[in-house]
Amino acid sequence: MHKIPVGISSCLLGQEVRFDAQHKRDAYIVGTLSHYFEFHPFCPEVEIGLGIPRATIRLVKQDDQLRCVGAKDPSIDVTDRLRYRAMELVDAHAGLCGYILKKDSPSCGMSRVKVWHKDLATRDGVGIYAQEMMRNNPLLPVEEEGRLGDPGLRENFIQRVYVLHRWKTMLADELNARSLTTFHARHKLIIMSHADYRELGQLLATLTKDNVQAVADQYILQLMQLLKKRATRSSHVNVLQHIQGYLKKALTADDKVEMCEVIESYRRGDVPLIVPITLLKHHFRKTPDPYIDDSYYMSPYPQELQLINQI
């Protein structure tokens, strides 16, 4: 199976690159995700020339500016070097479909990094390198390893990685009005589970043979922003009921009762999403539908990841 390229903080793979010459190997990342993702490790602190081990650095607010300086020696300022390193890696990052960052890091933290002002610290900072990297790559799904412990956040991140990967695969084959509208159709139910899809549909309605690239650029930007919103149980219920509608002529009265009961059980939180999806797949095997067969909603990523078993 072709693995998807994903950037990652080197220490999360077990590389001993931290300030104390240790690592923060993450068992889920190394033991599960590595089967599906081809990890590209980056450690900006080492890459800008800081040693192993090294003096700790931290974020501080100086004259309303955020700087990354030595915790014990504030004259050591690596802010600009970290930003420049992210700029140097623009081409390397452009080939990625996701990025997993080390939480709390003054260089790599995605959010809630400590910012010191005199002797007080607030958790409202973003790592210098991470901030520049995300600014340069607005489409890129980014998450911290700590937040991947939350089943909903984990599912959301991995789903976005697969969506972006399919987008890049489509671009590599051929971008035209047909490929773009087909991509949207196959992801429409996924989009419905996150938010209203009508704005994207209206954008595609403006397609002509002369504006495909411009519409595509706007489409994927809006789509990746929209998918950041976590799908809710109620929005999944709406999608499940919508899919059930494609079976209205195929289901017996008892089948309909069973399907409604299973969807209601999911709505109450008694069963995970995999249960109504498995039942729907069972019925569509007996009564195939081309639109549902082509949709990614019920198979958004490899079944072995078992993400919909947990949400």
pLDDT at 1: 63
Q: CB–CB of 164/273 below 8 Å?
A: no
Q: Are residues 169 and 283 in the same domain?
A: yes
Label the pairing between strands 57-62 and 65-70. antiparallel
pLDDT at 28: 94
Q: Are residues 40 and 140 in the same domain?
A: yes
Please say which residue of 149, 180, 213 terminates a domain.
149
Mean pLDDT (the chain, rounded): 96
Total domains in the chain come to 2
pLDDT at 119: 86
pLDDT at 266: 98
pLDDT at 306: 85
User: Range of 298's domain?
Assistant: 151-311
Q: Are residues 163 and 254 in the same domain?
A: yes
pLDDT at 50: 96
Those residues of the chain that have pLDDT short of 70 are 1
Please give the Cα distance from 101 to 273 (Å, whole number). 28
Please say which residue of 131, 149, 167 terminates a domain.
149
